[in-house]
């Protein structure tokens, strides 16, 4: 069964699974906040959701995940962190899903292109929301530190782990990498 061709209930179920993974994954890195903040554990399930289920599901999971996690576990702090992350992760899910699903070929190359563009877009959205929430107290140095310098380990992890997961899903037939555009809902 290819996820692309599956019914909405399958995509909704997978999205719920990605949401649950996003709620639990930070517990593995959260014991040491400096490491958890650098590995960006909530980003991984959102990016995978956008890739596997599509932009609508990636957008929804991305927006809900940090807010729900903040309300359930008080981490991340709701304001401004979880609010800004909600928009950032929603942008990740939206952009990666749109770009990858609209690519002329679903391949490792289109996967990396979609990931990199989504990461840049998400960080720009995060910075914009931080400026709106915090005003002039959010500086360029804070943006660079939060969006890039502290995030380098997480970015590297995502660039290695997500393609590896997608390749494994391709091997078992759940996601297809091919030389042509995948059919969506029976379309060619």
pLDDT at 37 over 90: no
pLDDT at 187 over 50: no
Q: What is the mean pLDDT of the chain?
A: 88
pLDDT at 42 over 70: yes
Task: Name the band, by pLDDT with cuts 50, 70 and 90, for residue 178.
Answer: low
Structural domain boundaries in the chain: 3-171
* pLDDT at residue 181, rounded to an integer: 52
Tell whether domain 3-171 is in CATH 1.10.1760.20: yes
pLDDT at 158 over 90: yes
Tens digit of each residue's pLDDT (9 = 90 or more) over 79-136: 999 999 999 999 999 999 999 999 988 899 999 999 999 999 999 999 999 999 998 7
pLDDT > 70: percent of the chain: 91
pTM for the structure as a whole: 0.90
Mean pLDDT, residues 48-62 taken together = 97
Q: 10 Å Cβ neighbour count for 90?
A: 23
More confident residue, 149 or 185: 149
Terminal-residue alpha carbon distance, the chain:
17
Task: Name the band, by pLDDT with cuts 50, 70 and 90, for residue 1.
Answer: low
Distance CA 59, CA 79 (A): 20
Distance CA 52, CA 83 (A): 25
Q: Which two tokens stand for residue 122?
A: 């998400």
Distance CA 113, CA 143 (A): 23
* pLDDT at residue 188, rounded to an integer: 37
More confident residue, 161 or 135: 161
pLDDT at 144 over 60: yes
Contacts 24+ apart (CB under 8 A), 135-144: none
Task: Name the band, by pLDDT with cuts 50, 70 and 90, for residue 38.
Answer: confident
């Amino acid at each position: 069964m290819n996820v692309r061709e599956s019914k909405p209930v399958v995509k909704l179920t997978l999205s719920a699974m990605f949401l649950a993974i996003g709620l639990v994954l930070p517990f593995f890195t959260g014991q040491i906040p400096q490491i958890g903040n650098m590995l960006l554990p909530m980003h991984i399930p959102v990016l995978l959701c956008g890739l596997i289920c599509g932009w609508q599901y990636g957008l929804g999971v991305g927006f809900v995940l940090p807010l729900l996690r903040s309300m359930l576990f008080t981490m991340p702090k709701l304001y401004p962190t979880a609010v800004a992350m909600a928009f950032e992760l929603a942008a990740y899910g939206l952009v990666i899903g749109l770009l990858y699903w609209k690519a002329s070929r679903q391949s490792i190359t289109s996967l990396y292109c979609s990931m990199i563009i989504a990461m840049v877009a998400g960080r720009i959205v995060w910075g914009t929301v931080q400026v709106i929430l915090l005003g002039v107290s959010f500086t360029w140095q804070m943006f660079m530190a939060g969006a890039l310098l502290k995030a380098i380990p997480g970015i590297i992890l995502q660039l290695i782990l997500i393609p590896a997961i997608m390749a494994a899903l391709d091997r078992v037939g759940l996601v297809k990498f091919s030389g042509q555009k995948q059919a969506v809902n029976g379309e060619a």
